[in-house]
Copies of this chain bind each other. A is one copy, B any other.
Amino acid sequence: MTYFDAASSLPLHPVAREALLAAFADGWADPARPHREGRRARMLLDAARETAAEAVGCRPDELTFTTSGTRALHTGIAGALAGRARVGRRLLVSAVEHSAVLHAAEAHQDAGGTVTEIGVDGGGRVEPGAVGAALGAGGEPAALVCVQSANHEVGTVQPVAEIADECRAAGVPLLVDAAQSLGWGAVPGDWSLLAGSAHKWGGPGGVGLLAVRKGTRFAPRPPVDERESGRAPGFENIPAIVAAAASLRAVRAAAAEEGARLRGLVDRIRARVPELVPDVAVVGDPVRRLPHVVTFSCLYVDGEALLHGLDRAGFAVSSGSSCTSSTLTPSHVLRAMGVLSEGNVRVSLPPGTGAEEVERFLTVLPGVVAEVRGRLGVSSGSTAPEVPAVVPTAEEVTVDSLGKLCPVPVIELARAIGRVPVGGVVTVLADDEAARLDIPAWCAMRGQEYLGEPRNHAYRVRRLA
């Protein structure tokens, strides 16, 4: 099995494993106890905090260990919002944040707060100036801005340092979700809060980081206890914390070299996939991106079938297609970017990935895509389904794709477009949520004109070519 889903989780780094085993011997006691075993555990905890703080770029007393990256985000957002509740209750989040941030934003809204979403460009990037503009736009005073350091689905790196400057200028704290990037380097800029997750860099599960820089107003939400400066209640998991800190230092030491190597492999995938597979869109910022992530979407492909096909062929990848999630809606990241969501594949290479594994993936992928397309009745070659050998029959055609799931509505649109002459219009009736994203994306890819959705679930497309 070749594991290309590093952005979900990594196996335990050998350094983490070694540190964990050592810390099981020395760090299992309660660090709050004054006896020898407790003091030994406390010393390990303090040392791990120093190591992690150095990697994060903060002071040890600004750093607390939480039980997950999700918990760090929930605690950080709630604490920062509560700390500034007198100033204002508006939370600004980018549209492509991790679901943990969006869940915290929903909770804030449910509790009477306001949430402003900051859009991204087609590459998934928050445009510099967008946060400053949103902060200056008036309305309820802002309490907090949340922007990720890099996107978890498409790998796009955000201009965090610039955004931090915009936040400082407005006097609003910035919380950075650094879960995807912390193993590759410290987050630049003058951020106020930062969250991370150990299992994303090869540390054990069960450890998150929350940094709250001095001078940041912060009021932890009750119930709290005396652990971790009142910011993470419950018994500290010291062996896992020690392993997390040790492995962070280890992956950082190798990050420059390994990052450059993986970047080369990802460049190869970015270049070759569109050559090897017809009708593919590589998504995400092509330059300002994580070294190890590449995401692409395949027209006329069911993402779930593609995932299973790749799995059978020995590759573990991830997908933002609607059919692969429990919600039946496409990934909010792809939606915010306005790009094709069908047949979506995220390849995220773990450290140590070999060039031969990437080549094998490139060898296998075309066949798997062709097989999935074939099952949907789409020719697997370069001949897209939208070039049928029929004479146009009407100026306007309606296709009923109601009740059909992605990618079928797009396939039926592609088949119908040849039934109208150039200048003619196809209306697709489709109630699958993905259609709202994928029909415009198809138009952009195929050079047709998307006319909009005049009625709910009715999409109009003018044939231009």
Contacts and interface: CB of A to CB of B under 8 A. Distances in A.
Interface of A: 1, 3, 5, 8-12, 17, 24-25, 28-30, 33-38, 67-71, 74, 99-100, 103-104, 106-107, 110, 197, 199, 204-208, 222-226, 233-240, 304, 307-308, 310-311, 316-318, 324, 326
B38 A205 contact: no
A142 B204 CA distance: 41
A225 B28 contact: no
A42 to B, nearest CB: 13
B199 A28 contact: yes
A205 to B, nearest CB: 4
A172 to B, nearest CB: 21
Contact of A225 (B103, B224, B310, B311): B103
B222 A106 contact: yes
A234 B72 CA distance: 9
Nearest to A102: B223
6 contacts: A8-B33, A12-B24, A28-B199, A35-B317, A35-B318, A208-B234
A175 to B, nearest CB: 14
Nearest to A29: B9
Contact of A237 (B36, B103, B205, B304): B205
Contact of A28 (B1, B12, B104): B12
B103 A224 contact: yes
Contact of A5 (B35, B99, B318): B35
Given A30-B9, A100-B223, A71 B36 contact: no
A435 to B, nearest CB: 23
Nearest to A224: B103
B69 A235 contact: yes
Contacts of A310: 35
Contacts of A208: 234
A103 B223 contact: yes
A249 B318 CA distance: 35
Contacts of A304: 34
A206 B243 CA distance: 13
Nearest to A70: B234
Nearest to A99: B225
B70 A67 contact: no
Contacts of A11: 24-25, 28-29
Nearest to A8: B30
Given A68-B67, A71-B233, A205 B240 contact: yes
Contacts of A233: 68, 70-71, 74, 100, 103
- Of A17, A33, A69, A317, the most chain B CB neighbours within 10 A belong to A33
A338 to B, nearest CB: 25
B29 A223 contact: no
A207 B239 CA distance: 13
Contacts of A24: 11-12, 17, 204
Contacts of A223: 74, 100, 103-104, 106-107
Contacts of A25: 11
A347 to B, nearest CB: 12
Contact of A236 (B38, B205, B238): B205
A118 B224 CA distance: 22
Contacts of A235: 9, 68-70, 197, 199, 205
Contacts of A10: 28
Contact of A204 (B8, B68, B239): B239
Contacts of A8: 29-30, 33, 38
